[in-house]
């Protein structure tokens, strides 16, 4: 099992390297027909969900080709990716002549076509819960509840990520008049975030962002305390003794939330839970800590998060 998963990771590295060196979004028709193509960005929280699924469900090395879309450079906002999906989000899967353009659709495809049977999800409620806008893990990553937190996130590179995406959208908008409506829907928020992290936002805009961030984290903290434990089993995983469909979504969501809480890269589950406890202002619910530890022992987890949580 470990050897197979090690091969899967090696194949992931090779395929990603090959595809990232080619012109983006241009695969030969033969390759596209032969294998599914999964559009990913390694630090993406939601693109991680199918990555966990592929390993846990026993897909053979090389069964899926990966195409890197660099979110930090705003490549998902460009005209090439717009042809793939108008949602401009990851992950996306091209398979069987179709496009699957949401995390839920992509992961369900892999579950339903898996070499290992019996992993079909029966817990859609928790999947829908972690994908709710009020618990958005992407906003949690950039959220700042005060000036100190904003400064800290500026220092760890959030500013570069935000400014890179805004600059890319401005450039694309100037050269793609046929996509005017798309950019008009994206640019206001990108501009607002760029102002916040570049230090040019007004005091009123900063305070509004701090308030929005505080409210968002209160909802996340409440979910972890009041609702998430009810979805988690006393042992094993949501879908059974081994991880299944719901577990892939919950694990990736929780990893991002914990990543937002830790100050430095950690490979220690206890340190991770202490950081989360500090955020919650109390001990982590026993069910959540037990679930986190169970994932930490999986080879899939060690492979996908080998460079740290994201």
pLDDT score, position 34? 77
Per the CB < 8 A criterion, the answer to whether 68 and 23 are in contact is: no
Per the CB < 8 A criterion, the answer to whether 297 and 241 are in contact is: no
CATH superfamily membership of 37-113: Glutaredoxin (3.40.30.10)
Structural tokens at position 28: 């030969």
Task: Write the burial class of residue 194 (CB in 10 Å: 0-12 exposed, 13-18 middle, 19+ buried).
Answer: buried
pLDDT score, position 1? 36
Length of the chain: 310
pLDDT score, position 11? 38
Q: Write b or e for each residue in 227-241: b if 16 or more Cβ atoms lie within 10 A of its Cβ, otherwise e.
A: ebbebbeeeebbbee
How would DSSP label each residue in the chain?
Answer: -HHHHHHHHHHHHHHHHHHHHSPTT---HHHHHHS-EEEE-TT-TTTHHHHHHHHHTTPPTTSSEEEE--GGGTGGGSHHHHHH-TT--S-EEEETTEEE-SHHHHHHHHHHT-SS-S-----HHHHHHHTSGGG-HHHHHH--SSHHHHHHHHHTTHHHHHHHHHHHHHHHHHH-GGGHHHHHHHHHHHHHHHHHHHT-S-HHHHHHHHHHHHHHHHHHHHIIIIIHHHHS-SSSBTTBSS--HHHHHHHHHHHHHHHHH-SS----HHHHHHHHHHHHTSPPPHHHHHHHHHHHT-HHHHHHTTT---
Number of neighbours of residue 20 by Cβ within 10 angstroms = 13
pLDDT score, position 149? 96
Distance in angstroms (rounded) separating the CA atoms of residues 303 and 51: 9
Q: What is the mean pLDDT for each group of 10 consecutive residues in the chain (310 residues)? A: 36 38 46 80 97 95 94 97 96 96 96 79 92 98 96 92 98 97 97 96 97 98 97 94 95 98 68 93 95 97 95
Distance in angstroms (rounded) separating the CA atoms of residues 301 and 56: 9
CA dihedral 263, 269, 274, 279 (to 10 degrees): 60
pLDDT score, position 258? 97
Return the axis-axis angle of helices 147-155 and 203-222, rounded to nearest 10°.
90
Distance in angstroms (rounded) separating the CA atoms of residues 205 and 202: 5
Can you give the residue ranges of every domain in the chain?
Answer: 37-113
């Amino acid at each position: 099992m470990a050897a197979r998963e090690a091969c899967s990771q090696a194949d992931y590295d090779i395929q990603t390297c090959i595809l990232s060196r080619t012109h983006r979004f241009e695969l030969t028709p033969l390759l596209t027909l032969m294998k599914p193509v999964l559009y990913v960005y390694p630090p993406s929280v939601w693109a991680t969900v199918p990555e966990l699924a592929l390993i846990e469900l026993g897909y053979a090395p090389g069964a899926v080709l990966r195409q890197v879309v660099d979110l930090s450079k705003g490549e998902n906002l460009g005209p090439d990716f717009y042809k793939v999906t108008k949602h401009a989000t990851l992950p996306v899967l091209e398979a069987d002549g179709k496009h699957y353009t949401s995390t839920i659709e992509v992961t369900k495809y892999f579950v339903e076509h898996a070499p290992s049977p019996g992993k079909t999800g029966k817990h859609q409620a928790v999947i829908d819960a972690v994908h709710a806008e009020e618990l958005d893990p992407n906003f949690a990553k950039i959220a700042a509840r005060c000036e100190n937190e904003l400064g800290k996130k500026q220092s760890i590179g959030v500013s570069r990520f935000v400014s890179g995406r805004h600059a890319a959208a401005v450039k694309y908008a100037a050269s793609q008049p046929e996509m005017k409506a798309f950019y008009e829907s994206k640019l206001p928020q990108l501009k607002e975030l760029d102002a916040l992290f570049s230090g040019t936002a007004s005091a009123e805009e900063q305070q509004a962002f701090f308030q929005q961030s505080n409210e968002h984290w209160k909802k996340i903290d409440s979910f972890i305390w009041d609702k998430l434990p009810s979805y988690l089993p006393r042992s094993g995983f949501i879908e059974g003794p081994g991880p299944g469909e719901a577990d892939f979504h919950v694990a990736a969501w929780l990893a991002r939330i914990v990543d937002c809480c830790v100050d430095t890269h950690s490979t220690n589950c206890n340190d991770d839970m202490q950081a989360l406890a500090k955020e919650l202002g109390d001990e982590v619910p026993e069910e959540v800590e037990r679930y986190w530890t169970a994932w930490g022992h999986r080879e899939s987890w060690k492979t996908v998060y080998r460079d740290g949580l994201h």
